[in-house]
Amino acid sequence: MGDLVLAVDIGGTKFAAALVEPDGRLLRSERVATPPGGDAETLWTTLTGLIDRLGMPHRVAGVGIGCGGPMSWPDGEVSPLNMRGWQGFPLRERLAARFPGVPVHIHNDAICLAVAEHWRGAGRGSADMLGMVVSTGVGGGLILGGRLVDGGTGNAGHIGHVVVEPDGPRCRCGGRGCLEAVARGPGLAAWAVSQGWSPGAADLRDKEDLYQEAGPATARRLAADAAAGDPVALAAMARAGRALGIAIAAAANLCDLDLVTIGGGLSQAGPPLFGPLEEALRDHTRMEFAGRVRAVPASLGQDAGLVGAAALVLAAETYWSAG
């Protein structure tokens, strides 16, 4: 069992952990709701309890961690949005103390999703890709020349803060007109409500745990209403698709990409989203080299975060550059 890796995926709505085989398959996994309002030690004991429930083997070959940002990297002091109990919490160090003598690697959750798609998902075989997640937030991870790009502080891939409407809506980051401000689920749903949309009657259950959305007026419901032909919902999907296309074009022009994978709740919206996305992307990638970029849905499901976290250890030569 010495070649199994422990993968941990920490989000605002749930904690997940798994024992992962060298090929990326999950041998066993467990999950638990994030304790609302939990303080630092409550969150920590929730995590260690979850790990214990896996029935840990005597040795694991390493620990891979995905965690909501921001964090200091590579030392892994985490301050996840919507998790006030962990502000500057030394998550990497604490797990390293619990699993001495093996590598403990960490990255933000959006980067882990991108890594998963590149390693075992829709991005397999691409040397130059952006893996995106569009949900409550809009994030991503960048692979160039066949390797994960960290950037100067471990924050490369923040496509959500590329400007798509210079005078557009305010963003959570304090900026204006960011892709995230336009296309994140709650922002898009709020825009649709402002345009007269009221959520349809379908009883939809959110299956997406990562970046989960709460309340009735969700982007998932908006996508379902768009699929059913609601004109305002369709306009909202077109608005998000255009914004995504513009931002993806920027990334393709700047980084000479061949592929962009799009995961998260909104990526399930199908043609009402991907049609306008594709149109905007083609309008803004007119250089010959950039015209080859393809934007496709991510192919891994809810375990993607765990698979990507495991890859930080299992394929460290590709996805881990730090000490």
Contact footprint for its own copies (CB under 8 A): 70, 127-128, 142, 144-145, 149-166, 171, 173-178, 242, 246-247, 249-251, 253-258, 283-290, 292, 321
Q: How far is the CB of 16 from its own copies (least distance, A)?
A: 26
Q: How far is the CB of 277 from its own copies (least distance, A)?
A: 14
Tell me the C-alpha distance between 3 and 51, whole Å.
17
CB nearer its own copies, residue 42 or residue 87: 87
Phi, psi of 9 (to 5 degrees): -130, 110
Length of the chain: 323
Is residue 277 within 8 Å of residue 138, measured between CB atoms?
Answer: no
CB nearer its own copies, residue 41 or residue 283: 283
Tell me the C-alpha distance between 135 and 218, whole Å.
10
Identify the H or E element spanning 10: strand 5-10
Residue type, 187: G
Q: How far is the CB of 294 from its own copies (least distance, A)?
A: 12
Tell me the C-alpha distance between 2 and 274, whole Å.
43
* Structural tokens at position 240: 């998000």
* Structural tokens at position 3: 């070649």
Q: How far is the CB of 181 from its own copies (least distance, A)?
A: 11
Q: How far is the CB of 213 from its own copies (least distance, A)?
A: 22
Is residue 128 within 8 Å of residue 255, measured between CB atoms?
Answer: yes
Tell me the C-alpha distance between 93 and 63, whole Å.
11
Sheet of strand 89-90: strand arrangement: 71-72, 77-78, 89-90
CB nearer its own copies, residue 60 or residue 182: 182
Instruction: Give the position of tokens 């379908």.
Output: 202
CB nearer its own copies, residue 179 or residue 224: 179
CB nearer its own copies, residue 156 or residue 310: 156
Residue type, 212: Q
CB nearer its own copies, residue 23 or residue 317: 317
CB nearer its own copies, residue 48 or residue 318: 318
